[in-house]
Amino acid sequence: MSEDSSRRRRVSDDDDARPVTAAGRRRRAGAAGNGTGGSDDTATGRGATAGKATATPTRDRDRTPSEGSVFARLRRFLREVVAELRKVHWPTRRQIVVYTFVVLVFVAFMVALVAALDWAFAKAVFALFG
C-alpha cells in the first residue's frame, strides 16, 4: 500500500485532522458552515456552495466611463503600462541572439524552398506550354 493512500485512510479516521482530498475539504467546510454538515439551502439542495450559484450583479450602466480628465486617464494608463512591463520576463542577451539566429535560418530555408518551387513550376509550365 502506498504512503499516500494510507495517509488518506488515517485522515478519514480522524475528523479533526486536516483533510487530504477535495471531497474531504468540502465535507469539512459544509460541516463548519452550518454545524450539521447537511444542506443549508433546502430549496436547491446545494449545501454550503449555494452562495456560488447566485448571478453576478450587473454593473452600473449609468456611470460615465470617463472618470477624470483626459490627462488623468492618460497618466493612469501609462502608469499601468509601466506596471505591466515590470511583470514581463525579459529574455537574456544570449536568448535573443539564439532566437534571432533561429529566425534567420528559418527565413533563409523558406526563401530557398519558395525559390526552388518557383523554378520547378516555371520549368514545368515552359515544358507544358513551350
pLDDT mean by block of 10 residues, the chain; 130 residues: 52 60 75 54 50 72 69 94 93 96 98 98 94
Which amino acid would we find at residue 82? Answer: V
Q: How far is CA 48 from the centre of its chain?
A: 27
For 118, the grid coordinates are 518557383
Q: Which letter does DSSP use for residue 15 in this model?
A: T
- Are the CB atoms for 46 and 39 separated by under 8 Å? yes
Which amino acid would we find at residue 40? Answer: D
Statement: the pTM of the whole predicted model exceeds 0.85: no
- Are the CB atoms for 28 and 19 separated by under 8 Å? yes
Q: Which letter does DSSP use for residue 100 in this model?
A: H
Find the largest Cα–Cα distance for the chain.
92
Nearest to 47, CA basis, from 66, 23, 76: 23
- Predicted confidence at residue 67, as pLDDT, reads 73
- Are the CB atoms for 37 and 15 separated by under 8 Å? no
Rounded to whole angstroms, the Cα distance separating 12 from 33 reads 19
- Predicted confidence at residue 51, as pLDDT, reads 59
- Predicted confidence at residue 39, as pLDDT, reads 47
